[in-house]
A and B are shown apart, each in its own frame.
Chain A
Amino acid sequence: MASTPLRQQLSIMRQSLFDEGLLDHDQVSYLETLENEDDPDFIENIFTLFLRDSTKYIDSIEKALETTPVDYPVMERMMYRLKGSSASLGASKINGETNTLRNFFHDGDMESGKESLQKLKAEHANFKEKLAVYVGMLKQAKLSEY
């Protein structure tokens, strides 16, 4: 594709996502190679999906923690899903935070777990914001090239 200003911007943003550790370079590059003409929106799609679902998962985890008694099965399922999807996507920070969170809860350390959840939420909010911008730019770049 021609290196339009939009594309350049995209490229810079993408790199900064890597540099900030929000996205894993290898995994994302790998996913990008899967995209082809048949499915040109693959990357946007999975990013969008992830943003949507990860928000849901985190909300569920929080809710589960707040119920009495704590809804551990749901929590576990959500954390597990978040772990899997973030790993598959290459969302490294989220993946790392999720692992930490899970470990705390598995160990029964509710306090640390709750703190960790707050941290995860913050990370996630940051990630979401940036990734949403990136996806938006991606779409725009594509559109402008058609």
Chain B
Amino acid sequence: MLNLGYCKGSMSTASSGGVSDQFPVGLRVLVVDDDPTCLVILEKMLRICLYEVTKCNRAEIALSLLRENRNGYDIVISDVHMPDMDGFKLLELIGLEMDLPVIMMSADDGKNVVMKGVTHGACDYLIKPIRIEALKNIWQHVVRKKKNERKDMEQSGSVEEGGDRQQKQSEDADYSSSANEGSWKNSKRRKDEEEEVDERDDTSTLKKPRVVWSVELHQQFVAAVNQLGIDKAVPKKILELMNVPGLTRENVASHLQKYRLYLRRLSGVSQHQSGMGNSFISTQEATYGSLSSLNGLDLQTLAAASQIPAQSLATLQAAGLGRSTAKPRMPMPIVDQRNLFSFENPKLRFGEGQQQHLNNGKQINLLHGIPTTMEPKQLANMHHSAQSLGSMNMQLNAHGDQSGSLLMQMSQQQSRGQILNEATSSQVPRLPSSIGQPIVNNALASGVLARNGLAESGRGTGFNPVSQSSSTMNFPLNTTAELTATSFALGSAPGVPSLTSKGMFPEEISSEIKGPGGFIMPSYDIFSDLQHHRSHDWELQNAGMTFNGSQQSNSLQSNVDVASSVLAHQGFSSSQSNGQGRNISAVGKPMFSAGDATDHVNAQSLGQPLNNFFAENLVRVKTERVPDASLQTTLFNEQFGQEDLMSALLKQQQQAGIGPAENEFDFDGYSLDNIPV
């Protein structure tokens, strides 16, 4: 019989990282597999290794177990295919929320799938049938991860990323993405004092370390400003209040300047906006449920990364706001795609050719509440942005296969929110539904597809296995154009990373834009642009993701992963927290939890800080909005057709009684025809 001695031997020395001497005996493993036979066999093997095993056969159950007991597990082993959620999505979420090492398992041994696992940050990838030898050593992943994290924390300044990189190089290759994620997570999660530095800027043209205004950091900043009173908030005092080591007065000063401009725009743009802004936020939250926490910053970031179609955003906004911007689901006309992209980076390039438009430096203020990403001139472009987004959206849609990335959708929502504030004509309906969908995740790729009429089956004879396989990068999202927004589940993001992982970044991105992974693609462009332009140091940083300046393919990948993780995370959070059965199911139910003003999940999501950020102004409106959102969400849940959603949304809007403040928005003139494809 195997093993008692066998495993004991392996645990001899593992005491680094603060683990007990008995380690790895008692290592707490959570194993997730939907096949009972495999689950039992695995459990058996793990028990033989003297690990403490918890089984579960659903990804959602696994997540809730993990969430309930955050420190209750050391490592997770999961199959890549789950009925309720794509394994890669789960992987991302776990990495995002709990920062645990995750080992992926699969019955398939295709290189693509393995690559996917690796690029998504899996510590290891096992092919079934699994032997106990493979399991004996999983404790090493736990130790390694702890070690990396500690290292990340200790490092400061621009060295951090460099350190990570060195670390990565010396570690297993397949751990690198974990390390990247780890470092990202570190910056997201570490104590507030830890300053985030442009981790990936090092090799960019900019040499001096720049401050990354992460969501957390920005939140602290805003708290400090509010405490002092906006009029009295001087950099020096803000700095003191924030008490972030390494942050300089100059950093705060420039950030403050931007923030002030942002606020000015906010109040100056329209009165409605202040109201709308609230509603926007609340709408967003409603729509996104827990995602709302992500909100502006993240969404924007994400949007930026993924080139959120302005239209979608605006539409979403409008929908959320209940504005009677009853545009058909079709993406809003994209009047000026350029504007869309100015949102995060001037260089947002939307995939196919539209990219050029985007690089005009204008930034779309996707979210009112997201000052970090707002540049003065960007604010000015909001109207345009919305339009651009709309066009972007169109573009996305036009690309048939492009599944709406979650990012896009989210950002869409975001920008829409803003845009809607200004313009009421956006056709929101589509967005909410679409947003709901993609948010969920990879799995949602199928889910989304399903929502839109089963993309998979829609493939006709060419039966395509679940989108998870990289071979299915091209989502058969031929269902509806809006799918672009909707079908783009972050879930599809996994595909993206794999694309990037092939090392073909920019080119691939452009060409791949068509695919589901397309949305992510643009972000790569952005990245490279960022590197060069770095005009907005916080833009992409907002969500805490090191999008910018990631010149390295590794970084990019992890960025994307992060983005998708974030989105996935959010999407999942919303579904999780929702409890309304908006679970991530392959059926493609909208994931966002509309009524989820309770940001309970937010705690875990990146957007949490953002939420708070807006909280002060938006609280009351938020609550009001929630019902609307939930209504919408509910509707979306049930309805899959664009038209259905459209009308539902419109109905919602009407019911909500939110009068459109069209007169002040430039969007009135939207029309699909304007889309300069």
On whether the beta carbons of B108 and A88 are closer than 8 Å, the reply is no
Nearest chain A residue, comparing its CB with the CB of B446: A73
On whether the beta carbons of B37 and A89 are closer than 8 Å, the reply is yes
Interface residues of B in 393-433 (CB under 8 A from A): none
For B464, give its contact among A30, A69, A72 (CB under 8 Å): A72
Measured between beta carbons, the chain B residues less than 8 angstroms from A105 are 463
On whether the beta carbons of A30 and B131 are closer than 8 Å, the reply is yes
On whether the beta carbons of A73 and B37 are closer than 8 Å, the reply is no
A-side interface residues, number (CB < 8 Å): 35
On whether the beta carbons of A77 and B40 are closer than 8 Å, the reply is no
Interface residues of B in 36-82 (CB under 8 A from A): 36-38, 40-41, 44-45, 48, 79, 81
Measured between beta carbons, the chain B residues less than 8 angstroms from A90 are 129
Given A33-B1, A46-B41, A72-B456, does the pair A106, B36 have CB atoms closer than 8 Å? no
Interface residues of A in 66-116 (CB under 8 A from B): 69-73, 75-77, 80-81, 83-85, 87-90, 105-106, 108, 110
B-side interface residues, number (CB < 8 Å): 38
On whether the beta carbons of B454 and A69 are closer than 8 Å, the reply is yes
Distance in angstroms between the alpha carbons of A112 and B279 in the assembled complex: 56
Measured between beta carbons, the chain A residues less than 8 angstroms from B461 are 108, 110
B107 at the interface (CB under 8 A from A): yes
A45 at the interface (CB under 8 A from B): yes
On whether the beta carbons of B456 and A49 are closer than 8 Å, the reply is no
Nearest chain B residue, comparing its CB with the CB of A32: B1
For B37, give its contact among A49, A72, A108, A110 (CB under 8 Å): A49
Distance in angstroms between the alpha carbons of A83 and B81 in the assembled complex: 12
Distance in angstroms between the alpha carbons of A84 and B37 in the assembled complex: 9
On whether the beta carbons of B457 and A71 are closer than 8 Å, the reply is yes
On whether the beta carbons of A53 and B81 are closer than 8 Å, the reply is no
A55 at the interface (CB under 8 A from B): no
On whether the beta carbons of B35 and A85 are closer than 8 Å, the reply is yes
Q: Mark A15-33, 1 if CB is under 8 A from B, else 0.
A: 0000000000001001101
Given A72-B463, A73-B466, does the pair A83, B454 have CB atoms closer than 8 Å? no
On whether the beta carbons of B36 and A87 are closer than 8 Å, the reply is no
Measured between beta carbons, the chain B residues less than 8 angstroms from A31 are 41
Measured between beta carbons, the chain A residues less than 8 angstroms from B462 are 108
Measured between beta carbons, the chain B residues less than 8 angstroms from A85 are 35-38
Most A-side CB within 10 Å, residue of B35, B37, B79, B586 = B37
On whether the beta carbons of A77 and B83 are closer than 8 Å, the reply is yes
Measured between beta carbons, the chain B residues less than 8 angstroms from A87 are 107, 128-129
Distance in angstroms between the alpha carbons of A73 and B82 in the assembled complex: 11
Measured between beta carbons, the chain B residues less than 8 angstroms from A39 are 44
Distance in angstroms between the alpha carbons of A83 and B461 in the assembled complex: 22
On whether the beta carbons of B450 and A81 are closer than 8 Å, the reply is no
Query: Nearest Cβ distance between residue A58 and chain B, in whole angstroms?
Result: 14
Nearest chain A residue, comparing its CB with the CB of B459: A72
Give 8 CB contacts A-B under 8 Å.
Answer: A34-B132, A36-B1, A69-B454, A72-B465, A73-B454, A76-B465, A85-B35, A88-B129
Which B residues are closer than 8 A to A by beta carbons?
1-2, 33-38, 40-41, 44-45, 48, 79, 81, 83, 106-108, 128-132, 446, 450, 454, 456-457, 459-466, 586
Smallest CB-CB A-B distances: 4 pairs:
A84-B107, A108-B461, A85-B37, A83-B107
